[in-house]
């Protein structure tokens, strides 16, 4: 059984990292540069040229996703009970974006982000310590 302080530090660290990813994603320029691929945002211009409206939809979904990661930091850091549900929804949306990037040939970067988001879904959906920690925050 995980101690509450360990879960607290995990949630705070994860909240800060997700907020940093969201801010970095909004500030990064879409390109095939290393920084853009590390953040998981490269290839949108190519997607728009190859797939038209689907490429534009993918870019819009990414911009929404980036803002949601920033918003999501607050329930994780401040222990709000709805944070767990929002993590699951945003991680699924992020998997859609990374899946499209993988189909476009973004390769290893998209695969790593897919694995990270799948791990987050598995962690938040199955770990009872996280659910009880966030649920106890409203008391």
For residue 122, what pLDDT is reported?
93
Q: Where are the alpha helices (DSSP H) in the chain?
A: 4-27, 34-39, 44-51, 53-77, 83-103, 108-126, 128-136
79 or 31: which leads in pLDDT: 79
Which backbone phi and psi does 112 adopt, to 5 degrees? Answer: -65, -45
55 or 122: which leads in pLDDT: 122
C-alpha distances in angstroms, 131 versus 31, 65, 73, 82, 119?
Answer: 38, 23, 16, 10, 16
67 or 1: which leads in pLDDT: 67
Predicted TM-score of the model (pTM): 0.78
């Amino acid at each position: 059984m995980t101690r509450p302080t360990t879960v607290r530090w995990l949630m705070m660290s994860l909240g800060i990292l997700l907020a940093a990813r969201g801010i970095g994603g909004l500030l990064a320029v879409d390109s095939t540069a290393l920084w853009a691929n590390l953040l998981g945002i490269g290839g949108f211009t190519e997607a728009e040229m190859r797939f038209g409206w689907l490429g534009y939809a993918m870019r819009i979904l990414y911009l929404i996703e980036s803002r949601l990661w920033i918003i999501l930091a607050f329930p994780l850091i401040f222990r709000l009970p709805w944070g767990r549900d929002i993590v699951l929804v945003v991680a699924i949306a992020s998997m859609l974006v990374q899946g499209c990037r993988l189909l476009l040939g973004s390769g290893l970067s998209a695969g790593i982000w897919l694995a990270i988001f799948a791990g987050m879904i598995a962690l938040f959906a199955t770990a009872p310590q996280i659910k009880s920690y966030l649920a106890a925050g409203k008391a």
